[in-house]
Structure 1
């Protein structure tokens, strides 16, 4: 089930993010810094943050429905519980996310993938995303921008 994030989810999402040590490491962060940065992003204006729950939190997503420069929808964060990696759960969750929370609002989607995160890049390419350009995040990280156009 997908829930829109609000303050009632804070403790569960904080605990979930703290457990995602591999994702934090890919971002060059401690689990605590990863948790704190993403909780701040989830509580910021202008994004829609979502929680996937099946008994416990299994994934979190942060969407920017309309980027101020390019007007497209940006997927800022998509983290699936590490124990589900390689099981097809992430693909199922992404398909539901795209259908229910992305396609109704936009036809162009973008996201950034860290250059050394080859597994994530392969995942997104299987979802129909293609390389568009290199860019730098607000945090100063270099990323490959991937784009998907729904016709």
Structure 2
């Protein structure tokens, strides 16, 4: 089940993030730094922060910016699936739900940034229709490949 994040979810979100060692390492952060940065991002105004739950346990999170102030597209700022569930197909299922319920109703063009050395993520996003657009630097100074997906809606 996907639902919007609320302040009461903070302890569960913090616990979830503390177990994402691979993602923290890819970001060259300790899990504590990774947790603190992403909890702060989830509680900022202007984004749609979502949690994916299996019963009461968070199994994935996503953070969306519905309309980027510069390019007008929807940006997927974060999509993290519980490490123990990697390779199970769950990420694919959850992403399809996310796109269907929270992305397609708002935009036809999506963007996201992927760390250049995160080859597994690059393959995942390309399988989902994203193509390389350009290199960029995030507002936090991290170099990323910007990937873009454009939907064609029947008229």
User: Scaled by the length of structure 2, what TM-score is found?
Assistant: 0.97
The Cα of 1:139 is off from its aligned counterpart by 1.0
| Matching residue of 1:13 | 13
- 1:92 maps to what in 2? 93
Q: What's the counterpart of residue 109 of structure 2? A: 108
Deviation of 1:106 (Å): 0.3
Q: Find the counterpart in structure 1 of residue 80 from structure 2.
A: 79
Structure 2 residue runs of 5 or longer lacking an equivalent are none
Superposed displacement of residue 3, structure 1? 1.2
Q: Distance in 2 between matches of 1:27 and 1:145?
A: 16
Correspondence for 1:37:
37
In structure 1, C-alpha distance between the alignment counterparts of 2:3 and 2:10, rounded to whole Å:
12
Per the alignment, in what secondary structure is the counterpart of residue 138 of structure 1? Answer: coil
Please list, as runs of the form range in 1=range in 2, the aligned pairs for 1:131-146 lying within 5 A after superposition. 131-146=132-147
- Three-state SS of the structure 1 residue aligned to 2:91 is helix
| Runs of 4+ more than 4 Å apart | none
Q: Secondary structure at the match of 2:60?
A: strand
Gaps of 5+ in 1: none
CA distance in 2, matches of 1:150, 1:87: 26
Cα distance in 2 for residues equivalent to 1:13 and 1:147: 28
Q: Structure 1 length normalisation: TM-score?
A: 0.99
* Secondary structure of 1:75 counterpart: strand
CA shift, 1:31, in A, is: 0.1
